Structure 1
Amino acid sequence: MPADFLQLEGRRIAVFGVANRKSVAYHIAKQLEEAGAEVVYVVRSPERHESVSKLTGSAQVHVCDVEFQEQIDELTKSLKEKYGVLHGFVHSIAFADYDERGMIPFHETSRKQLLRTFDISCYSLIALSNALKEMLTRDASVVTISISTTRMASENYGFMAPVKAALDSSLAFLAKSFSKFSEVRFNAVAPGLLKTSASAGIPGYVDSYLYAERATLRGRAIKTEEAAAAATFLLSPRSSGITAQQIVVDAGMEVNYFDDRLIRPAVDSLGE
């Protein structure tokens, strides 16, 4: 097998969404760099620029809050002038405008909450794809980060799952739109529960994480590096035949909910 099996040497990938060392985006960026790719980092604020710059070495870090179209336009102009072309980009951006009261019943979700969350977490992929389309090479790859299932009605995840479902659906429409003038591919990595700084802020997440770990076929939780590895593959020319897809990375959790290790404690507790 050639040393450059992924054929990422010399390719330039923009990575949106690094927050810290625990970020999925950070692990993707590091794997890309290890494979010989040039990574262009994009973060959401000047404060994040300061902290992330300490992690990136000599790599360039740009600022763009995707909630504002003018910042997307300014970033596009800057990237065009500095780099000319991109061989792909990573969209690892998620924000939930949760109620200040904490988690509320789904039917009480306000229009403002849902639309802002959709704008930042889903529409931003469409906006960035449109803005960067002239920079993307014909065979570029775009990868977003989703979740392993949007059908599991986890109350502590709130309305974020329906927004992720919209993100997943957008992949097919973006791939179709771009097919009129290119072979740019759009895919998602959909991991099970991960240990990230963002997830730590979700009420009850630790218990859900521990349950998910038991539900995997191997009895071990998904590591962030494993989700990142799937993304790195999708960004590489080796995945050229894959588009408009979700790659689920959950160690078999979705097929294992009726494992005896999970059922027996629940059944036994009924007799207590």
Structure 2
Amino acid sequence: MPTDFLQLAGKTVLVTGVANRKSVAWHIAEQLSQADCRVLFSVRSDARREQIAPLVEKKLGGSPDDILVCDVEHEDQIVRLAEQVAERCDQLDGLVHSIAFADYEDGMKPFHETSKRAMLRTFDISCYSLVSLSNALKHQLAKDASVVTITISTTRMASENYGFMAPIKAALDSSLAFLAKSFSNFSEIRFNGVAAGLLKTSASAGIPGYVDSYLFAEQATLRHRAVSTAEVASTAVFLLSPRSAGINTQRIVVDAGMETNYFDADIVRRHLEGS
């Protein structure tokens, strides 16, 4: 007889940031639904809501009424989101923050030439949104709820084509500890991050030179096979579940061992032979 190992059945989780079926957020929503967990969605625009509504209905059997619109650049929309969530459920057992945006309107430049405008806008959307959403939803979140953000496997690798996004993600990672400490004054709400290796998503496809980096990362994993979006989602779902109750303020790296394997003998040999 099947058992509810993750103990997610009957719970409700708000998932932000679904763009399409390739999104980490979508894979998380699918796995939550398979565990008999109710999923509410928050997307950036009405257009995005219309795009994913058929997916939610067909794949999850969900209702378009559970897809809410919130552009996190606007504080009033975050407040409205909290009100709409309260209208739809008594409490949230989890929150997935899968929101990232880099303002590259000025083009790719050396890091020291990053404009203040681009840096602050990116910080607002990609990092501060976690703080703002958590604060707005604090009365909806259960006393033992789990908040999970999607981050990157390392913020210390100065990848030129990633621009100023890694420092923003570093701030996001640091925010986990401060949010957990702050929330511990009135709850046992946990804050953790899933630090993903390179993935095939629509968002990553927009990063200049990403395909080459992805192919290298695939070679560098210990299994010589890239990390899948579903694997990242599975880690997030575990962190959302009561089974991870003892884990707080952590970032779990999901990179198939890539960070230990940069000096793999075959990779080094091929590089030297080709140089």
Normalised by the shorter chain, which TM-score bucket?
Answer: over 0.9
What secondary structure sits across from 1:22 in the alignment?
coil
Question: RMSD between aligned alpha carbons?
Answer: 1.0
Q: Could you list the structure 1 runs, at least 4 aligned residues long, displaced by more than 2 angstroms after superposition.
A: none
Aligned to 1:20: 20
Aligned to 1:199: 204
What secondary structure sits across from 2:152 in the alignment?
coil
Aligned to 2:148: 143
Equivalent residue letter for 1:218: R
Aligned to 1:118: 123
Aligned to 2:8: 8
Equivalent residue letter for 1:255: T
Equivalent residue letter for 2:69: V
2:79 is the alignment partner of 1:73 = yes
Q: 1:106 to 1:99 in 2, by over 3 A?
A: farther
Deviation, 1:110, is: 0.4
What secondary structure sits across from 2:122 in the alignment?
helix
Which digits, 9 at most, give the CA deviation of each residue in 1:79-108, with x for residues without a partner? 1122121001100000000133x3110000
What secondary structure sits across from 2:192 in the alignment?
strand
Q: If the length of structure 1 is used for normalisation, what is the TM-score?
A: 0.97
Equivalent residue letter for 2:200: K
Correspondent of 1:248 among 230, 239, 253: 253
Which digits, 9 at most, give the CA deviation of each residue in 1:172-216, with x for residues without a partner? 000000011100000000010000000000000000000000000
Q: In structure 2, what is the Cα distance between the partners aligned to 1:166 and 1:155?
A: 18
Select between 32-41 and 76-85 the one with higher mean Cα deviation.
Answer: 76-85
Aligned to 2:273: 268
Aligned to 2:239: 234
Deviation, 1:263, is: 0.4
Aligned residues with identical type, % of pairs: 66
What secondary structure sits across from 1:55 in the alignment?
helix
Superposition pairs of residues 37-56 of structure 1, within 5 angstroms: 37-56=37-56
Deviation, 1:266, is: 1.4
Superposition pairs of residues 160-199 of structure 1, within 5 angstroms: 160-199=165-204
Aligned positions, number? 269
What secondary structure sits across from 1:152 in the alignment?
coil
Deviation, 1:130, is: 0.3
Q: In structure 1, what is the Cα distance between the partners aligned to 2:238 and 2:12?
A: 14
Deviation, 1:2, is: 5.9
Correspondent of 2:96 among 90, 112, 136: 90
Equivalent residue letter for 1:6: L
Equivalent residue letter for 2:189: V
2:174 is the alignment partner of 1:154 = no
Deviation, 1:78, is: 1.4
